Structure 1
């Protein structure tokens, strides 16, 4: 591994130059994905770059990851990572702010690139879900009157995590949920890792048990994970879609 890291380091651009991460990987390793965030070599070089330049140690393909590579003249892909949003109250010079303002009431995919360049947010409620059906149904039912929404579309991308970080630090109140299954617990853990003050949105034992036709009062102190471990039956967001839309409709916006 040390020899591979050294080979990448020797191939870095001059201080006044720049290259793309995939281009560097293809040149040095003949594999455009050899330096991706999920590859040991990519993580090793990024952490070395961060240490050399006194930056935060990158732990995922997020802001710290991009900053580490940028410090050594390497640009990361900013368009493949994306997140679905609706009525997001963004301001500032980042292209995402102008895009959101241009299409109120319409679901919009934002790339990591569009979120770069400086963002400000208007504090308020933001509802986070896993599945695009929830956002599309909300847009159909409420349009521009729908509260702000963020959809991870499965596991949160770097764009989704960076956006939720910005929303949380900007004073927004995040309300999160996902499918109630093992993957959903991983998703919500990732949301909480960047927005620890976020609160569950019908992601609780009572919702789960009622949807299964069980009495939530039988085990009043049971957590959602405990209830799921007991029954083991997933509950997808689409199964409670009417309740979710009712929550959004009742939220002042």
Structure 2
């Protein structure tokens, strides 16, 4: 049973029934927004434990209302809205910059809800908390939010000079959100290729060196640093070409980057998926890691892609299709 299925099964118990009914009535009554709070009158012991299990500890109605306002802000703001710091978010919602710091109860409650919405486990370490906040473009640490780039020369003092020097030698370079906020740069590249896995960028650096066209790697889900750099590139006239994993999160990320920046999906068609599947060959036998899990996501640029992925039920990760990507970059 997948993690998502286990989560759904967990909340089928009778102790959650009244709470979920109250939540449904609230959502139906206010058009699906997260405004207001819900509760269960006269909870029995099982219901009380269930509520504590969701929130981590007993909560006051002030805490729950604040959490609802934080969630509404994060899940309804436009995709192209500027990032916000954790302290700025806390001050905006509660009037105090420290209320969302770990291990405050409000922080724990909001992160649990965001993890459920994203379909990931609740964060247990500082790095996992940073990554979850970053997924919603809330900046906890502008040094931890970064983007890996190869051959992306730029104009401007400091960062622009470093990027240009790195491109001259064809060496990968890590750019942090702190650098992007400190130094103003201008990018003039006509096309910037984007990949998801650093293994692709590493091979491009090794095999193509300074001759590789501009390439950036998200290293998983695009970070706030990626969004800042991508916006700068598009503003300078660049066209983005995006490639990611052939799994449902990968398709979801490709669609989000396409919507936000007008990016062109790069070798992300049904034909590319099936070719990658054929290349896996015997690796498919008994490898549960390659089974597609999670909610299917449409691919508007090629509806046949989603159909093929649902039919085959197999994920094709970027490393397995690196050859045609490198051929494009080398061409």
- Give the TM bin, normalised by the shorter chain: 0.5 to 0.7
Residue 144 (structure 2) aligned to one of 71, 80, 91:
80
- Give the number of equivalent residue pairs: 198
In structure 1, what is the equivalent of residue 196 of structure 2? 130
> Structure 2 CA distance, aligned partners of 1:28 and 1:20?
9
> Structure 2 CA distance, aligned partners of 1:33 and 1:124?
45
Residue 212 (structure 1) aligned to one of 277, 282, 286:
277
- Indicate if the aligned counterparts of 2:87 and 2:100 stay in contact, CA closer than 8 A: no
> Structure 2 CA distance, aligned partners of 1:160 and 1:130?
11
In structure 1, what is the equivalent of residue 74 of structure 2? none
- Indicate if the aligned counterparts of 1:81 and 1:159 stay in contact, CA closer than 8 A: yes
> Structure 2 CA distance, aligned partners of 1:20 and 1:125?
33
In structure 2, what is the equivalent of residue 243 of structure 1? 324
Residues 185-232 of structure 1, C-alpha deviations (whole Å, 9 max, x = no match): 122123224312x11111111111122239xxxxxx852112111111
In structure 2, what is the equivalent of residue 97 of structure 1? 160
1:106 and 2:106 aligned = no
> Structure 2 CA distance, aligned partners of 1:114 and 1:187?
24
> Structure 2 CA distance, aligned partners of 1:119 and 1:132?
24
Residue 304 (structure 2) aligned to one of 211, 215, 223:
223
> Structure 2 CA distance, aligned partners of 1:184 and 1:28?
34
> Structure 2 CA distance, aligned partners of 1:28 and 1:239?
45
In structure 1, what is the equivalent of residue 214 of structure 2? 148
- Indicate if the aligned counterparts of 1:21 and 1:77 stay in contact, CA closer than 8 A: no
Residue 205 (structure 2) aligned to one of 127, 139, 145:
139
In structure 2, what is the equivalent of residue 186 of structure 1? 252
> Structure 1 CA distance, aligned partners of 2:100 and 2:219?
31
User: Which protein has the bigger helix share?
Assistant: 2
The SS at the match of 2:178 is: coil
The SS at the match of 2:144 is: coil
| Cα displacement (A) at 1:4 | 6.2
Structure 2, unaligned stretches of length 5 or more?
1-61, 68-84, 115-134, 280-301
- Indicate if the aligned counterparts of 1:131 and 1:154 stay in contact, CA closer than 8 A: yes
4+ long deviations beyond 6 Å: 2-5, 24-27
- Indicate if the aligned counterparts of 2:189 and 2:214 stay in contact, CA closer than 8 A: no
Aligned CA-pair RMSD: 3.3
- Indicate if the aligned counterparts of 1:165 and 1:194 stay in contact, CA closer than 8 A: no
Residues 120-141 of structure 1, C-alpha deviations (whole Å, 9 max, x = no match): 1113111100000000100001
> Structure 2 CA distance, aligned partners of 1:102 and 1:185?
34
In structure 1, what is the equivalent of residue 16 of structure 2? none
Higher RCO (C-alpha under 8 Å, 6+ residues apart): 1
> Structure 1 CA distance, aligned partners of 2:141 and 2:324?
38
> Structure 2 CA distance, aligned partners of 1:28 and 1:100?
35
Residue 31 (structure 1) aligned to one of 96, 101, 106:
101
Moved more, 200-209 or 126-135: 200-209
- Indicate if the aligned counterparts of 1:147 and 1:248 stay in contact, CA closer than 8 A: yes
